[in-house]
Amino acid sequence: MQFYDIVSETCQFDDDFMKRLGFKDIFTINKEVMAVGARGIANNDSPTIALGKETGQLLNLVKQGATAVAITDSYIDRKLMEAIKEQGCILCFPMSVITSSYGVERTRNIYKMSKLFAHARKAKVDVTFVSMAKDKTHMNSCMQLIELAKLLGADEAYARKAIADTTRMIVEE
Amino acid sequence: MKDKQRYILVETSGELSEDERAFSFALSKEIVRCVGEMRTHHINPKLTKIVDKRHFVIKSSLSGVNDLILALALIKRVNDRDMAFYTIKSSGTIRALLSSTTAKE
């Protein structure tokens, strides 16, 4: 199985490091995949990730045809979840939210993300786990990414499939 | 009966300190902080070998290896220094772990 990850545009790494982490490829935001927010989706933007926490804005981006959605505060309402499912959009879980927080804040983030994951699985939405690391410190190896996915309630097979196939689907779409 | 062990090769984001004992103690402290006292005894982590300035091998019980990988993903600071840990490979014997790594190089 070949694994893939998505990181922020500020994250610097070389190919050797990527291979040592066990990834076939690591995609960078605003290079291989465009991050869209308040400005909306332009015609030449493809593939796109709708990033943010404002539900109304994310709903608009999903309706405009965003390839994936990453909700930074892990809060989602029923309308947005239905829209994600109808549009065949992929829900991304940015693991840097967990790895970059500490103590009580981290436990809250794990709780909120695991609830969101359970909700997404129930709604049969495609889910993937990406690091979205802002720097090298918050990057993870594929083994670690799988364990973080399991922390949110995914089983091993599902986590592996998501990190291998679903992440690749975002970029290839 | 002897418990089955698992060895993990770990890469660090910064250079490891010279004092192996101090590093081992600080890392154990961080693992306890991450996974809790009740689960750390289940992992039974032990720093086995410092390979070079950026790599070391850590041993755990087979049943606790997943918790250890997770803890290493969550630890970002050791001895008041920012440091990230990347689990590169795991194996049942230290010889297999190190030989496959040196073979690749």
The confidence band for B7, taking pLDDT boundaries of 50, 70 and 90, is very high
Residue type, A102: Y
pLDDT digits (tens, 9 = 90+) for A53-73: 888 888 888 888 889 999 888
Question: Chain A contact for B101, CB < 8 A?
Answer: no
Model confidence at A128: pLDDT above 90:
yes
Question: Chain B contact for A101, CB < 8 A?
Answer: no
> What are the residue boundaries of the structural domains of chain A, listed by start?
3-172
Model confidence at A143: pLDDT above 90:
yes
Question: Chain B contact for A98, CB < 8 A?
Answer: yes
pLDDT digits (tens, 9 = 90+) for A10-65: 999 999 999 999 999 999 988 888 887 766 676 666 788 888 888 888 888 888 88
**What is the token pair recorded at A23?**
């990834």
In the 3-class helix/strand/coil scheme, how is A113-143 assigned residue by residue? HHHHHHHHHHCCCEEEEECCCCCHHHCCCHH
Looking up tokens 């399991």, which residue turns up?
Answer: A150
Calpha distance B73→B81 (Å, rounded):
16
Architecture of domain B5-104: 2-Layer Sandwich (3.30)
Chain A residues near residue B84 by CB distance under 8 angstroms: 136-139
Q: What's the CATH superfamily of A3-172?
A: Metal-dependent hydrolases (3.20.20.140)
Chain A residues near residue B82 by CB distance under 8 angstroms: 137
